[in-house]
């Protein structure tokens, strides 16, 4: 598929897809005319990448764990180094902090909406 189709299927801009290629997160084939050709499996891969980026993981870590993803949303990393485990634990802890922050903000917004609706 062409970059526009992958973009439509994943909700990812062509610019972001080219960035993922620059970061070696996705590797499209090149056609004789120079166009990129994306395999079907890259739809799930791009969705995974977006999800990992949304959690705050930097591309350098995503690049390291992507080879360990054998199917969408399942991570296998049998030969993890202590450094990789420490990095992932740190990133997980950062995610936990963001989740708590978002949960507090969500609760505050819900409380505000409840109050406004009760007065209406």
Instruction: Give the SS3 label for residue 69.
Output: strand
Question: Cα 104 vs. chain centroid, distance in angstroms?
Answer: 23
CATH of the domain at 77: 1.10.1660.10
- Global pTM? 0.68
User: pLDDT band for position 57 (50/70/90)?
Assistant: confident
Is 70 exposed, middle or buried (CB count within 10 Å of its CB: 0-12, 13-18, 19+)?
exposed
Reference 75, options 66, 84, 83; nearest CA is: 66
The pLDDT tens digits of the residues spanning 68-90 come to: 765 555 555 666 788 888 888 99
The total number of structural domains that make up the chain: 1
Q: Note the pLDDT of residue 69.
A: 67
Calculate what percentage of the chain has a pLDDT beyond 90. Answer: 55
Residue 61: count other Cβ atoms within 10 Å of its Cβ.
Answer: 16
- Residue 112 is part of which domain span? 3-119
Residue 19: count other Cβ atoms within 10 Å of its Cβ.
Answer: 14
- Please tell me the distance from the alpha carbon of residue 42 to that of residue 1, in angstroms, as a whole number: 10
Q: Note the pLDDT of residue 78.
A: 65
Q: Are 21 and 28 spatial neighbours (Cβ–Cβ below 8 Å)?
A: yes
- Please tell me the distance from the alpha carbon of residue 90 to that of residue 71, in angstroms, as a whole number: 24
């Amino acid at each position: 598929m062409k970059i526009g189709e992958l973009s439509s299927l994943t909700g990812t801009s062509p610019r972001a897809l080219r960035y993922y290629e620059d970061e070696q997160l996705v590797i499209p084939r090149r056609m004789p005319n120079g166009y990129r050709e994306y395999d079907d499996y890259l739809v799930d891969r791009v969705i995974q990448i977006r999800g990992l980026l949304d959690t705050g993981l930097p591309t350098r870590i995503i690049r390291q764990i992507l080879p360990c993803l054998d199917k969408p949303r399942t991570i296998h990393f049998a030969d993890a180094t202590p450094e990789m485990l420490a990095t992932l634990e740190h990133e997980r802890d950062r995610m936990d902090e963001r989740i708590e922050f978002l949960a507090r903000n969500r609760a505050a917004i819900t409380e505000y909406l409840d109050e406004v609706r009760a007065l209406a």
